[in-house]
């Protein structure tokens, strides 16, 4: 006896059974696709996506290759957690770290070098040395920090080359490293070489006695180097082939200026764009504004500066709860009193700040004329450093020195 409709019921039943069996893998795949496509996912969601994947290392690599800042930074954090120093790094993870050590994102570089240091990786010295020629003094300092484990034969010539560096902190750290390797004493303590935050303007500054002590110590170190230079032949550590600057597309976004006009990042394609994330209650952000004003004055034809206010976003400590009704007027007042000569935008929903991880302030992102992120860093910079970065962004990316 034939059951009516059985031919229809059986296929439907099979679909239901398959859906039930594959419901969890399907959910994970949908979750993964959504996270990888999201420009500003919460960090914990990216970590959850990696944790819940059938193959977490594969998901970690997918997050890294997404080309999105949040996903890439979380991928590195997960790499550190999943492959501690007691384990050998699998080749794909090692390649990721070597590339990350010369990444456009300074946070990524810092994390990658730290992981390589924990693993006592043989490429650490070369990758640390590669930071020493960077126009950003903070990256030169990062490179010097990771040179501590180098041998005197390698480290002394590299540190000595920075004894006349434009940045006092770089000179100071170079002196301290030379003391470590040479056994000499040049007359400064580590505390003399570290700038402290000025509570008035939020900028990092050296105390007067620290400046004098560091200058004197650097002069003594240069005299020592003049006598002993022949004992240390120049070295050029070889950077691994995997290390290098990969294109990091900035994507596109839309924001409203204070006057209500909509602007998209792609409106400025063909010019270098500097995106500066700030708030009215951040002293360092406001203290940096004269440098940005001067930069815009000098490069009005080849640079676009976009000041993005994150005043609508409460800080992590809850010390600055936003009053949405007052924010536009407060921001406009700063723009007027500080004489800003570049447009300022309100990121009401943290859509752009979240994309570029602008929670640390000030955060600056430099996008080249082709729409790729060439720099992302936290903290203030001086006018000469901004100009050097701008000149670099105006040129095609250079491969790392081999």
Question: Domains in the chain, ordered, with CATH?
Answer: 1-120 (no CATH), 122-246 (no CATH), 254-393 (3.40.30.10)
Q: Tokens for 364?
A: 């600056």
Q: Could you tell me the CA-to-CA distances from 361 to 126, 277, 380 in Å, in that order?
A: 30, 7, 9
Per-residue pLDDT band at 244 (split at 50, 70, 90): low
- 25 or 399: which leads in pLDDT: 25
- 239 or 48: which leads in pLDDT: 48
DSSP 12-53: HHHHHHHHHHTHHHHHHHHHHHHHHH-SS--HHHHHHHHHHS
DSSP 322-355: --TTTHHHHHHHHHHHHT--S-EEE-TT-HHHHH
- Work out the percent of the chain whose per-residue pLDDT is above 70: 92
For residue 6, the model assigns a pLDDT of 54
Distance CA(366)–CA(275), nearest Å, equals 6
Per-residue pLDDT, averaged over 290-310, amounts to 97
Per-residue pLDDT, averaged over 178-192, amounts to 92
Average pLDDT, the chain: 90
The answer on pLDDT for 1 being more than 50 is: no
Residue 172: alpha-carbon gap to chain centroid: 24
Q: Report the alpha-carbon angle 288-290-293, nearest 5.
A: 115
Lowest mean pLDDT among 6-20, 140-154, 253-267, 310-324: 6-20
Contact 129, 237 (CB under 8 A): yes
pLDDT digits (tens, 9 = 90+) for 120-154: 999 999 999 999 999 999 999 999 999 999 999 99
pLDDT digits (tens, 9 = 90+) for 65-103: 999 999 999 999 999 999 999 999 999 999 999 999 999
* CA nearest neighbour of 387 among 79, 110, 13, 136: 136
Report the SS3 class of residue 319. coil
Distance CA(93)–CA(90), nearest Å, equals 5
The answer on pLDDT for 345 being more than 60 is: yes
* CA nearest neighbour of 147 among 120, 129, 135, 173: 129
Torsion of CA 350, 246, 298, 202, to 10 degrees: 50
Q: Tell me the pTM.
A: 0.90
Report the SS3 class of residue 307. strand
Distance CA(254)–CA(268), nearest Å, equals 12
The answer on pLDDT for 209 being more than 90 is: no
Given the structure tokens 């990042």, which residue do they identify? 265
Distance CA(16)–CA(22), nearest Å, equals 10
Q: Tokens for 111?
A: 């994390």
Per-residue pLDDT, averaged over 286-294, amounts to 96
- Work out the percent of the chain whose per-residue pLDDT is above 90: 77
User: What's the full length of the chain, in residues?
Assistant: 402
The answer on pLDDT for 385 being more than 50 is: yes
The answer on pLDDT for 284 being more than 80 is: yes
Per-residue pLDDT band at 200 (split at 50, 70, 90): confident
The answer on pLDDT for 3 being more than 80 is: no
Distance CA(192)–CA(190), nearest Å, equals 5
Report the SS3 class of residue 263. strand
List CB contacts of 131: < 8 A, sequence separation 6 or more.
109, 139, 140, 142, 143, 146
* CA nearest neighbour of 135 among 326, 392, 378, 346: 392
Distance CA(13)–CA(294), nearest Å, equals 71
Distance CA(72)–CA(384), nearest Å, equals 30
For residue 315, the model assigns a pLDDT of 79
Report the SS3 class of residue 204. strand
Q: Tokens for 23?
A: 């419901």
Per-residue pLDDT band at 18 (split at 50, 70, 90): low
Q: Could you tell me the CA-to-CA distances from 67 to 64, 116, 216, 382 in Å, in that order?
A: 7, 22, 46, 29
Computed from CA positions of residues 338, 310, 369, 127, in that sequence, does the dihedral angle turn out positive or negative?
positive
Taking each continuous run of H as one helix and of E as one strand, the counts in the chain are 16, 9
φ/ψ (deg, to 5) at 272: -75, 135
């Amino acid at each position: 006896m034939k059951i009516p409709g059985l031919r229809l019921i059986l296929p439907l039943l099979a679909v239901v059974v398959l859906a039930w069996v594959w419901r969890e893998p399907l959910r994970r795949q949908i979750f993964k696709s959504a996270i990888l496509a999201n420009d500003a996912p919460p960090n914990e969601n990216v970590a959850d996506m990696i944790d819940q994947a059938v193959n977490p290392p594969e998901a970690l690599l997918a997050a890294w290759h997404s080309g999105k800042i949040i996903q890439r930074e979380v991928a590195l954090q997960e790499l550190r957690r999943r492959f501690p120093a007691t384990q050998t790094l699998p080749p794909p993870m090692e390649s990721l770290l070597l590339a990350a050590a010369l990444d456009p994102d300074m946070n990524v570089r810092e994390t990658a070098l730290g992981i390589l240091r924990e693993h006592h990786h043989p490429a650490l010295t070369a990758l640390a040395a590669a930071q020493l020629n960077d126009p950003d003094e903070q990256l030169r300092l990062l490179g010097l920090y990771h040179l501590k484990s180098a041998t005197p034969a390698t480290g002394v010539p590299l540190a000595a080359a920075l004894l006349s560096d434009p940045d006092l902190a770089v000179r100071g750290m170079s002196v301290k490293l030379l003391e470590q390797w040479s056994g000499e004493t040049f007359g400064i303590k580590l505390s003399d070489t570290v700038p402290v935050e000025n509570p008035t303007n939020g900028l990092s500054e050296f105390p007067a006695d620290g400046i004098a002590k560091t200058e004197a110590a650097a002069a003594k170190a240069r005299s020592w180097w003049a006598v002993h230079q022949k004992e240390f032949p120049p070295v050029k550590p070889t950077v691994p082939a995997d290390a290098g600057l990969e294109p990091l597309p900035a994507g596109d976004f839309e924001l409203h200026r204070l006057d209500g006009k909509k602007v998209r990042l792609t409106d400025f394609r063909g010019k270098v764009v500097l995106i500066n994330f700030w708030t009215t209650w951040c002293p360092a952000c406001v203290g940096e504004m004269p440098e940005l004003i001067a930069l815009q004055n000098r490069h009005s034809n080849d640079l676009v500066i976009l000041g993005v206010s994150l005043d609508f976003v409460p800080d992590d400590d809850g010390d600055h709860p936003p009053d949405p009704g007052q924010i536009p007027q407060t921001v406009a007042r700063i723009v007027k009193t500080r004489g800003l000569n570049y447009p300022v935008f309100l990121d009401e929903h943290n859509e752009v700040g979240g994309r570029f991880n602008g929670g640390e302030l000030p955060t600056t992102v430099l996008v080249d004329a082709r729409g790729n992120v060439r720099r992302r860093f936290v903290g203030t910079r001086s006018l000469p450093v901004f100009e050097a970065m701008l000149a670099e962004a105006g040129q095609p990316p250079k491969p790392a020195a081999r």
